[in-house]
Amino acid sequence: MNSNAIKLGPARAPARAMLRATGLDDAAIARPLVAVIHTWTDVSPCNLTLRALAQHVREGVHAGGGTPVEFNTIAVTDGIAMGSDGMRASLASRETIADSIELAVRGHCLDAMVLLVGCDKTIPAAAMAAARLDIPTVVLYGGTILPGHCERDGSDRALTVQDVFEAVGAHAAGRIDDAELHRIESHACPGAGACGGQFTANTMAMVLTFLGLSPLQLNDIPAMHPGKAAAARACGELVMQRLHDGAASPRALLTPASLRNAARAVSATAGSTNAALHLLAIAHEAGVPFDLEEFEAAARHTPVIADLKPGGRYTAAEMFEHGGVALVARELRAAGLIEDVPTVTGRGFFAELDEVETAAQQDVVRPVHAPLKPRGGYSVLYGDLAPDGCIVKLAGHGRERFEGPARVFDFEEAAFAAVQARQVRAGDVVVIRFEGPAGGPGMREMLAVTAALVGQGLGDDVALLTDGRFSGATHGFMVGHVCPEAAHGGPIARLRDGDVVRIDVATRRLDVDADLAARPPARIAPRVATGVLAKYARSVGPASRGAVTAPGPLDAPVDRGIPSVLRVDDALAPA
């Protein structure tokens, strides 16, 4: 056991003394020490249940013969930070969460871990930490929020936080009044759980299932469902089984095949484009070659078959009622679009899938031969403005080409103010730059802007182009992750108002009618000079490679002529 390093032998008496002070006896110290790590906070509904779920995980670890050791790490909630300066902290928090999990587990030489996650960045961070540590690990998603309900025009309308963002735009356009905005705001989020559509949190929870890091079905259970506690206990028991048999370590699960499966599931559900950023980061941590072209291949071969918000009709909780992501997996398997891969249960994904019962009649997920849309919910483009690639989101509209004059803004707030002032017109291409990983810093999401456009009825008539990101709740003709970013002198920094921008999915091009080489790039002063965001800006890589800050197994080590690992015994050995 890893934990023997801190608990065996006379020299470890001080460590054992401190463990005793926490209430552990000889028997508890002798058992495997299992980390139970959660991202609980009461600032948002997304992570609100995780501390309580951790107690059920602890019961499962105890039942399996282990001793649980509980830690808490941070979360930054996008739905609250969105549109504010606080959003710069969101993507950077992914690295901090992964780092803190790694440090807590390494620092205490723990034997296994169960990770409980809720909102957007906590989910990929858990997978990244699992890949780094490569010890027996189970990840459990706290679950989706249930849909809110608001009666309007004689019908009971299901709501998510997406509707509140879009109501802000409708309010600015005079389409709803203060009272109606307040009514939507008051009913959209009825309790605990992460945002309810196939936004980033639910997309990434599904990704964990297809990667095999989470048991099939358990992530689907909504946060407030009575079955969630039993799921948490089962994860505690499961991690002990993996510790005893040594099967299904995270890096054994994170393979090219499982990553491709996950990318195709994202495509089939028109999921968040953030999944591309996060899957690239997870692959980096696992040392698996995986690049942007994998997502283009996934989208070209995998149609949209799930009728989920933001572009569709249903929430994640409603899909759960009919069978959850197993509905998607079954259709993809029937069409030969996914491969069988190992999972954390110790069994293959297809064997697990065969045991899932789903509704006989449902219209949330369609067969691949009768899809909602013939190709996936995103595409990877290159061209004059994105020589290193970008991602266009196709969910919610059928267009594959857009051409119009650029309206250039150097930060999100300026673009949002212009939209709210009704200064953006149909046919415009709104460009928001200096919002990339380094330039933002933090690669903010643009949901406030995109939702305001939708709320004003311009969602299908305006394109948006940015080196930042989009929320999973975004729909419309949106191009994000433009690389190289403006802060690194990318072509987007040379755009000017009025330049005619062409977005063409069929040719996979993002071009402009202007001689960019003849212009100097625009420059802005760094927005953050001190603290964690300044450090992040200096170390973060491009979005096209996952916006990671830590070296991965495939990165060449620097040879400084010293051993990579110096054992304590070696240091104390006599000369």
Q: How far apart are CA 398 and CA 420, in angstroms?
A: 26
The reply to whether 100 belongs to the active site is no
Other beta carbons within 10 angstroms of residue 234's beta carbon come to 18
Q: How far apart are CA 498 and CA 493, in angstroms?
A: 14
Q: Which of 496, 477, 474, 475 is nearest to 401 (CA)?
A: 477
Indicate the residue type of 484: P
- Please say whether the dihedral angle defined by the alpha carbons of residues 314, 319, 321 and 322, taken in this order, is positive or negative: positive
Q: Which of 540, 500, 293, 265 is nearest to 403 (CA)?
A: 500
DSSP 515: -
Report residue 410 as tokens: 């150097």
Cβ-based neighbours of 215, under 8 Å, separated by 6 or more? 138, 209, 234, 235, 238, 343, 344, 345, 352
Q: Which of 212, 304, 231 is nearest to 266 (CA)?
A: 304
Half-sphere exposure of 69 (CA within 13 A, CB side): 23
Helix (H, G, I), strand (E, B) or coil at 194: strand
Helix (H) or strand (E) holding 182: helix 178-187
| Catalytic hit among 272, 471, 539, 544 | 471
Helix (H) or strand (E) holding 63: helix 50-63
Complete edge-to-edge strand list for the sheet that includes strand 401-409: 378-381, 390-393, 477-480, 463-466, 429-432, 401-409, 500-504, 509-512
Bridge partners (DSSP) listed for residue 69: 35
Cβ-based neighbours of 202, under 8 Å, separated by 6 or more? 144, 194, 195, 196, 271, 316, 472
Is the backbone peptide bond immediately before 289 cis, with ω within 30 degrees of 0? no
CA dihedral of 312, 317, 320, 324, whole degrees rounded to 10: 50
Catalytic residue positions, numbered: 471
